[in-house]
Every structure is written in structure tokens, then in C-alpha cells.
């Protein structure tokens, strides 16, 4: 029997990191794609967001994590500052977090721009 998530199609927004992680473990995708986004229209003037994309059959599961303090709210990935004080996410932190959380040697983790 296939997980009920496989019945979904199109873009499916996931609201929590734990649910995204559960889907990654259940659906066993070949890859997880991430994108560090600069959101100039954010109501709280926060620019750095993390979008995770889990492609699985006819569906793409999307989770977006937003800053809270000096880390992302759900994943707790740290937000760094450059020499001028600008906040940013280090891609190596994102990759390390995903590898630590979703323990699969055959899982490809890549930036949206490298696909």
C-alpha cells in the first residue's frame, strides 16, 4: 500500500519541519532541493528565508522556514552576519542540518540553482 501522500499532485505546502521530515522519511525521495530566499516584501522586514522542496511523483512538497531571532524558527539553523552586519544563511549549515536529520546516504541535497 502506498502512503496517502503519493495521491497528492502539484505543489503541497507543508507547515512544519517535523511533517516535512516525516514525509522525507516516508516517501524516500531521491533528492531534497533547497533555496535561500531574500524576501524584500516581508512584513517584518526580515530578508532571509529557507525553502525546502521534496519532489515525490506528481507532487512537490514545499516547506518554508522563517527567521526568529538569530536562527530559523523551525529548523533552528543559525543565521550568520557578514562583516557589514547583513544576515544570511550559510549553505553548508543547511546541507549539514538536512544530512543530520534525514539519515540517508543515497539522498541528494542540492541548491535550486544547481539542478
Q: What CATH topology corresponds to 4-114?
A: 3.30.720
If you average pLDDT over residues 60-77, what whole number do you get?
A: 94
Q: What is the pLDDT of residue 55?
A: 92
Question: Which residues are CB-neighbours of 12 under 8 A, at least 6 positions away?
Answer: 5, 59, 60, 61, 62
- The average confidence (pLDDT) of the chain is 85
The model's pTM: 0.83
Mean pLDDT of 66-86: 91
The pLDDT score that the predictor gives to residue 44 is 53
Q: CA 59: distance to chain centroid?
A: 16
Give me the residue spans of the domains in the chain. Answer: 4-114
Give pLDDT tens digits for 28-68: 999 999 998 876 655 555 668 899 999 988 889 999 999 99
pLDDT at site 8? 74
Q: In the numeric block, which cell numbers belong to residue 19?
A: 511533517
Cβ-proximal residues to 71 (8 Å cutoff; 6+ apart), any chain: 77, 78, 79
Amino acid at each position: 500500500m502506498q502512503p496517502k501522500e503519493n495521491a497528492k499532485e502539484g505543489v503541497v505546502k507543508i507547515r512544519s519541519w517535523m511533517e516535512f521530515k516525516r514525509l522525507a522519511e516516508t516517501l524516500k525521495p531521491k533528492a531534497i532541493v533547497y533555496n535561500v530566499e531574500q524576501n524584500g516584501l516581508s512584513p517584518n522586514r526580515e530578508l532571509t528565508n529557507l525553502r525546502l522542496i521534496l519532489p515525490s511523483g506528481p507532487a512537490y512538497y514545499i516547506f518554508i522556514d522563517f527567521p526568529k531571532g538569530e536562527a530559523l524558527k523551525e529548523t533552528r539553523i543559525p543565521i550568520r552576519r557578514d562583516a557589514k552586519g547583513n544576515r544570511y544563511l550559510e549553505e553548508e549549515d543547511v546541507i549539514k542540518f538536512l544530512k543530520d536529520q534525514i539519515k540517508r546516504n543515497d539522498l541528494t541535497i542540492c541548491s535550486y540553482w544547481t539542478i
